[in-house]
Structure 1
Amino acid sequence: MPEEPAENISGGVGSGGVDTEFAPEDADSRAAAVVDALGELYWQTAYGGQDAFTCLVRTILSQNTSDKASQPAHDSLLNRYGGGDLAATLADAEQSELAETIQSAGLYNQKSEMIVGAAEEIVAEFGGAEGFDAFVREEDPGTVRDRLLEIHGVGPKTADCVLLFSGGRGGVFPVDTHVHRIARRMGLAPADADHEEVRQSLERDVPPEKCGFGHTAMIQFGREYCSARKPACLDGPEACPLYDYCDRVGVDEVDETVVDPAKAD
């Protein structure tokens, strides 16, 4: 059984997660059955406990890039600016210097602007990283999510990652590119669903305590088996451990072609 990858910007080392166990059950939905099957394939982790502002920065850095690129940028940022209140330090940071520090993450000018702006906003409203962390952990999740979405550069996936990996909120299933593709390809959400509609479908159908694990495990499944261009099922049913759960929307196993589920006949 593979260990949780260290370079998983959402849930790897430093995520604040702890090992846990849950037994496969008589699932009430196919989405729940898929998550149970992923639980037999991968690690099982309960998330929460990461510093909220650090989590926000990590997730901004991960936008539109791979963990392989964003992790070194995160490490460089902490090496240069860590050691105190990270929000206060970055609120006063020179943007050009920060952009240079995080350039391996790509889109570094835009991301440095987002990070400095978020830091300024958090210092002004919450007094710094500690106050922001308390807000994320203790306030109503809907209130937290709405407030996070008001920050420039924070979209639904970023907000949900902060809720999950910092706040430890059950019932939060962040949707990235992998989750969006797999949920629609498997038939767990409508083929033409956008990210928010996929999130709503999964959070409705997956038990709250399994949503965080489902998010990270589905990402890993997407990397190892259900890639965008060549999913494992093209090599035959035995090549994919979740074959029996999947509708393979947009996948033609005979012609060996793959299209986005929204474009499937």
Structure 2
Amino acid sequence: MSDDPEPAVNISGGADGGGIAAEFDPATADTRAEAVVDRLGELYWQKTYGGQDAFTCLVRTILSQNTSDKASQPAHDALIARYDVSEVDLAASIAAAEQSELAETISSAGLYNQKSEILIATAEWVLEELGSAAEFDAFVKDEDPETVRRTLLEVRGVGPKTADCVLLFAGGRGGVFPVDTHVHRIYRRLGIAPPDADHEAVRAVLERDVPAAKCGFGHTATIQFGREYCTARKPACLDDPEACPMADLCDQVGVYPDAGEVVDPAETIE
């Protein structure tokens, strides 16, 4: 494992985004999913997450929805610069924001009108239900994780991936494997999850087959792997089966090197 090559432009915040580097004793993987995650850890990083402020993490994850980290990171930075005012609770600051001004601030993230409305409504919910961003942070870190997840999923604009990212990056909860588009694509393409599995079904497979301590870096390293090797339209194996570090572990579901074609794994079901 290298020191920590985790990109800063990433929902996890890179080396400075919370959590600590961790080593795991080498052992024979019990499942193919664990073998994949072990190899990802050797390829990229092994890290135990947690420690981010929960409301800031929630805001950052909402901004990342349906856009790239490269686009959402500047929006997050601009929002924090404008609304994270000294001695003013961030939730209170956003709840009191003018929607058009907030939308302009986060415009680089895409869908900024919708996201600004969601952020204001989320901040209002935090104040109404818990009183402050600080109390929300305590709720995420101290309450039963299933209660936290269930509660977050009742909030407008918060889906399973967003709730799980808050549990992972802020709460430091082991055994949480958020499923974004990369994770959803890759583990179906590998043949580890059924080709027609939805995001929640993929999550269930991974949280069952990957040890709790490895789920966090399994999530972030899978994203990096998806960007560098297993892209949606042109995975590395399409031109060269040996170009991918997962070649011996992958079923290549939906990838047809001989024909030079790639389809969603779900389309392979007859």
- TM-score, normalized by the shorter chain, greater than 0.5: yes
Which residue number in structure 2 is paired with residue 189 of structure 1? 193
Give 1:103's match in structure 2, choosing from 98, 103, 107.
107
Distance change (3 Å), C-alpha of 1:3 and 1:169? same
Does residue 152 (structure 1) correspond to residue 156 (structure 2)? The answer is yes
Aligned-partner residue type, residue 43 of structure 1? W
SS at match of 1:79: helix
Which residue number in structure 2 is paired with residue 177 of structure 1? 181
Give, in whole Å, the separation in 1 of the partners of 2:28 and 2:74: 42
Would the aligned equivalents of 1:69 and 1:105 in 2 still touch at CA under 8 Å?
yes
Give, in whole Å, the separation in 2 of the partners of 1:39 and 1:24: 11
Distance change (3 Å), C-alpha of 1:11 and 1:211? farther
Which residue number in structure 1 is paired with residue 84 of structure 2? 82
Distance change (3 Å), C-alpha of 1:160 and 1:105? same
Query: CA offset at residue 13 of structure 1?
Result: 4.7
Give, in whole Å, the separation in 1 of the partners of 2:268 and 2:24: 35
SS at match of 2:242: helix
Report Cα offsets for 1:231-264 as digits up to 9, x if no partner.
0011222200110000000001111110000001
Distance change (3 Å), C-alpha of 1:14 and 1:111? farther
Aligned-partner residue type, residue 95 of structure 2? A
Query: CA offset at residue 23 of structure 1?
Result: 3.1
Does residue 112 (structure 1) correspond to residue 116 (structure 2)? The answer is yes
Which residue number in structure 2 is paired with residue 132 of structure 1? 136
Report Cα offsets for 1:87-111 as digits up to 9, x if no partner.
1111111111100100000000000
Distance change (3 Å), C-alpha of 1:9 and 1:112? same
Which residue number in structure 2 is paired with residue 264 of structure 1? 268
- The number of residues matched between the two structures is 265
Please list every run of 5 or more consecutive structure 1 residues that lacks an aligned counterpart in the other structure. none
Does residue 240 (structure 1) correspond to residue 220 (structure 2)? The answer is no
Give the percent of matched residue pairs that are identical in Structure 1 and Structure 2. 72
Would the aligned equivalents of 1:73 and 1:105 in 2 still touch at CA under 8 Å?
yes
Does residue 91 (structure 1) correspond to residue 90 (structure 2)? The answer is no
Which residue number in structure 2 is paired with residue 47 of structure 1? 49
Would the aligned equivalents of 2:79 and 2:106 in 1 still touch at CA under 8 Å?
yes
Which residue number in structure 2 is paired with residue 6 of structure 1? 8
Shifted more, 54-63 versus 86-95: the winner is 86-95
Query: CA offset at residue 177 of structure 1?
Result: 0.3
Which residue number in structure 2 is paired with residue 73 of structure 1? 75
Query: CA offset at residue 11 of structure 1?
Result: 4.5
Give 2:205's match in structure 1, choosing from 201, 207, 213.
201
After the TM superposition, which parts of structure 1 deviate over 3 Å for at least 4 consecutive aligned residues?
none
Query: CA offset at residue 14 of structure 1?
Result: 4.3
Please list every run of 5 or more consecutive structure 2 residues that lacks an aligned counterpart in the other structure. none
Query: CA offset at residue 43 of structure 1?
Result: 1.2
Aligned-partner residue type, residue 102 of structure 2? L
